[in-house]
Amino acid sequence: MALPGSSDFPGRLVFHVDMDAFYASVEQLENPPLRGKPVIVGGVDSMRGVVSSASYEARAFGVHSAMPVAQARKRCPHGIYVAGRHALYGDYSRRVMDVLSDFSPVLEQVSVDEAFLDMTGTAKLFGPPGVSGRSIKDAIRARTGLTASLGAAENKFLAKLASDAQKPDGLVVVLPGEAQAFLDPMPVDRLWGVGKKTVQELHQVGLYSIAQLRAQPLESLVSHFGESFAGHVHALAQGRDDRELAPDWEEKSISHECTFERDSGDAEFLSAVLLDLSERVARRARKDGRAGRTVTFVWRNPDFTRQSHARSLPVGSDSSQAIYEAALGLFREVAGLGGDAPGRTRKGPRMFRLIGVRLFNFVQEGQQTSLFEQPKLASGLDRAMDAVRDRFGENAIRRARLAGQDDGTPSP
């Protein structure tokens, strides 16, 4: 692998930029006393949620994203657990992407905290990949105060692995001709598309490292795994990846969820939670300038099974009230409080471990959704509440759902 400042990169050049422990790092940046401490985003006052992000201080104890909070608390009982602030993370994400767009017009954002850049032919502008990579990292730190890890290689697959090779705050350049030496020691689960089940199947035929898989005849792999999958992993094991960047990425949906300390079947309580979740989803949609046409009520049963129920709106909307009314109607159907879906059992009301609201199928604000209909956009009340939150924080004002009513009124 080349060191920063290496010579010009022949042929195609792809960067992968990955923010380090993004949510947790933002929390540490916003709250200096948290710096240097094990910060875990998610699972505040609950043992039933999952970790959204963990600082590197928490990762030292084996805590990682998507881990159940109960398990995280066992591994890191002295960790500092904070609630996620997705609007804030979105603001930081936009700043990062603005920096990246200064270096390349071909940018594929794959999530809020990572992106690919096509840097082919940019050496005369920004220098060789080690130099330009350092410039990007320095610019991100100057604009946001956060660190990023960056990988540079001839394709997306190698660049992604390179960005992960020396986290946090890493910079790794894989030159053409060095790909095999970079890949060979890695385990087979580092290949894209290889999950837990496939790893077990590869191990059963004696393939543990990428070097072992690469040395295996393609025909042998086909006989075990089929032509499509065998060809895919065989090409990756040799460092080949022909995928182009897809620069028009945006979030496919906006969602917020709440996991309960105890399973709940209290319709009034669940409806109030649903109002808060709908408000958060709508606010993010308004900040992004998007209106969604489909609302989904998401829930998890006491047995951990996850289900969802969706409804299409007549027109796209970013209105808190419209999204809440749709989500509430879906909830009432699922809970057996109205509609055709049975929700009550012989033992009592339907119980929920988690509920959530998701908005997708977006149109842009001002875009006509049919010949006669315009998107149903935020009310003056929505905009006024947004202004209060922008100035005083997300929890400065909330709507209160009055008992027996399906509409919300603001409450301090």
Which residue has better confidence, 381 or 145? 145
Q: What is the dihedral of CA 85, 270, 322, 277, to 10 degrees?
A: 0
Two structure tokens written together for 254: 């906006």
Confidence of residue 304 (pLDDT cuts 50, 70, 90): confident
Confidence of residue 345 (pLDDT cuts 50, 70, 90): very low
Query: Is pLDDT at 8 greater than 80 in this prediction?
Result: no
pLDDT digits (tens, 9 = 90+) for 211-256: 999 999 999 999 888 888 899 999 999 999 998 887 765 567 788 8
Coil, strand or helix at 375: coil
- Residues near 398 by Cβ (< 8 Å), separated by ≥ 6? 276, 279, 410, 411, 412
The mean per-residue pLDDT over the stretch 362-389 comes to 53
Roughly how many angstroms between the first and final C-alpha of the chain, as a whole number?
A: 57
Query: Is pLDDT at 348 greater than 80 in this prediction?
Result: no
Query: Is pLDDT at 396 greater than 70 in this prediction?
Result: no
β-sheet with 80-82: strand ranges across: 53-54, 39-41, 80-82
**Residues facing residue 152 across a β-bridge:** 15, 173
Q: What is the largest CA-CA distance in the chain?
A: 73
Q: What percent of the chain has pLDDT over 90?
A: 51
Residue 383 pLDDT: 59
CA separation for the pair 411, 406 (Å, rounded): 15
- Residue 226 burial (C-beta neighbours within 10 Å; 0-12, 13-18, 19+): exposed
CA separation for the pair 290, 283 (Å, rounded): 10
The mean per-residue pLDDT over the stretch 54-72 comes to 92
**Catalytic hit among 57, 114, 154, 325:** 114
CA separation for the pair 147, 10 (Å, rounded): 28
Query: Is pLDDT at 382 greater than 80 in this prediction?
Result: no
Whether residue 154 lies in the annotated active site: no
Q: What are phi and psi of 178, to 5 degrees?
A: -105, 0
Is it true that the peptide bond before 128 is cis, omega within 30 degrees of 0? Answer: no
Two structure tokens written together for 31: 């709250």
Residue 366 pLDDT: 46
Helix (H) or strand (E) holding 117: strand 114-118
The mean per-residue pLDDT over the stretch 100-124 comes to 91
List, in sequence order, the alpha helices (H) in 145-266: 156-164, 179-183, 196-204, 210-215, 218-225, 227-237
Two structure tokens written together for 221: 């792999």
pLDDT digits (tens, 9 = 90+) for 39-52: 999 866 555 678 88
Q: What percent of the chain has pLDDT over 70?
A: 81
Which residue has better confidence, 384 or 265? 265
CA separation for the pair 94, 39 (Å, rounded): 23
Query: Is pLDDT at 85 greater than 70 in this prediction?
Result: yes
Q: Are 354 and 300 in contact (CB under 8 A)?
A: yes
Two structure tokens written together for 142: 């100057």
pLDDT digits (tens, 9 = 90+) for 162-194: 999 999 999 999 998 899 999 999 999 999 888
Two structure tokens written together for 29: 């940046």
- What does pTM read for this prediction? 0.65
